[in-house]
Amino acid sequence: MKKILGLAAALWVTAATSAGLVVSAQQAPSEKKIWDGVYTSAQAARGKAPFEQSCARCHNVELAGSQRGPALKGNAFWSKYENDNLATLFMYLRDNMPQDGPSLVNETIKADILAYIMSANGMPAGNDELKTDLRALEGVKIAKKTTWDGVFTAAQAERGKQNFLAGRCGGCHKLDLTGERGPALKGDDFLAHWENGSLATLFDKIRETMPPNGANEVTDDAKADIVAYLLQQNGYPAGKADLRVEPESMGIIDLVRKGQTSTIPNFSLVQVVGCLAPGTNNTWTLTKTSEPVLTRDEEPSAAALRTAQAKALGGQNFTLVSVVPFKPDTHAGQKMEARGLLYRDEKDARLNLTSLQTLGDCR
């Protein structure tokens, strides 16, 4: 169901202002991030055995989760803990895990287990071990990478350049990426279109639709190389590891301009995936949702729905606005892909819908 987005935004802003709602300030930066190397390789190696002994029966040896416990890596992990700090995660492990007796594993070993979980999520090791000091852990923010963190290698970008020049890309986007029949792939127009979203969104667009009428002509690995080339040409720095195709890899990298954060401002058009449930006073809510992701489209494509179907649930909850036209009572209890205008503050989280699509049972 299409809406005139500009009008919806104006009405939504007016309603928020009338209710006295104020856009919340961005979270103050922490002293460190999880990408700064806050545990050692030896500590993560020590944590592997106790994890497999005490945790894997619920969370799976591969940390992928089971019916007894949630996944501890990938989208499920990020949806629950992003923008929090390591103290929150450590205290949960300390006070609640394992379920048959938290005291069965001491705090030092739990710090080792946390180091192992961080390693499994691709967070780099450093020179100092992770301690059980809560004050120190509070200073380590759980935040996704950005494109300024060196998420591809120079060699990968060079491969991407050769793939770009050898394929049909230049016919639409020009060999210098300035655009012709297709949009520019570098500069302000490119950044304005893709900034503040996950790098997976850009990759999915290329993977599912490029080149037109021949998306299977180029392998996914080659398309990841092309994304690396586009990042390089937009001034982003190379790092020590290749950009990987896996969604859990690209999904934790946000494309941002230099000096900016990836915080999504209120009244942005976003996509979330969650479980539809009735709320109080004839309202409807989307529970266990993934973290909101910026989108340019009010409604999803078939390819976007396939990607959303595989997305893990998270820990967010949103009250849905303008939900009646989507007949929510016929989809109660189902996993849904929702798009709409975002509003969040310390007490409230709402989504003014432009689309609500069924993905299947909510599990």
Q: What is the pLDDT of residue 261?
A: 64
The closest alpha carbon to 231, from 160, 143, 144, belongs to 160
pLDDT of 327 > 80? The answer is yes
DSSP letter at 127 equals: S
46, 112 Cβ separation under 8 angstroms: yes
- Give pLDDT tens digits for 102-147: 999 999 999 999 999 999 988 889 999 999 999 899 889 888 889 9
Distance CA 340, CA 360 (A): 20
**pLDDT (average), residues 323-334:** 95
Q: Which H or E run contains 218?
A: none
Q: Residue 271 phi/psi, 5° resolution?
A: -120, 140
Residues of the chain with CATH 2.40.50: 5-26+263-361
In the structure, what pLDDT confidence band is assigned to residue 240 with cuts at 50, 70 and 90? Answer: confident
CATH architecture of the region 154-255: Orthogonal Bundle (1.10)
Q: Which H or E run contains 231?
A: helix 220-233
Cβ neighbors of 304 (< 8 A, separation 6 or more) are 204, 271, 297, 337
111, 134 Cβ separation under 8 angstroms: no
Q: What is the pLDDT of residue 251?
A: 82
C-alpha angle with apex 266: 265 to 270, nearest 5 degrees?
A: 85
Residues of the chain with CATH 1.10.760.10: 32-143, 154-255
Indicate yes or no: pTM above 0.75: no
Q: What is the pLDDT of residue 177?
A: 97
Assigned CATH topology for domain 32-143? Cytochrome Bc1 Complex; Chain D, domain 2 (1.10.760)
The closest alpha carbon to 132, from 174, 86, 184, belongs to 86
The closest alpha carbon to 289, from 362, 344, 193, 183, belongs to 362
349, 16 Cβ separation under 8 angstroms: no
CATH architecture of the region 5-26+263-361: Beta Barrel (2.40)
3-state DSSP assignment of residue 349: strand
Instruction: Report the helix count and the strand count for the chain, using DSSP H and E.
Output: 14, 11
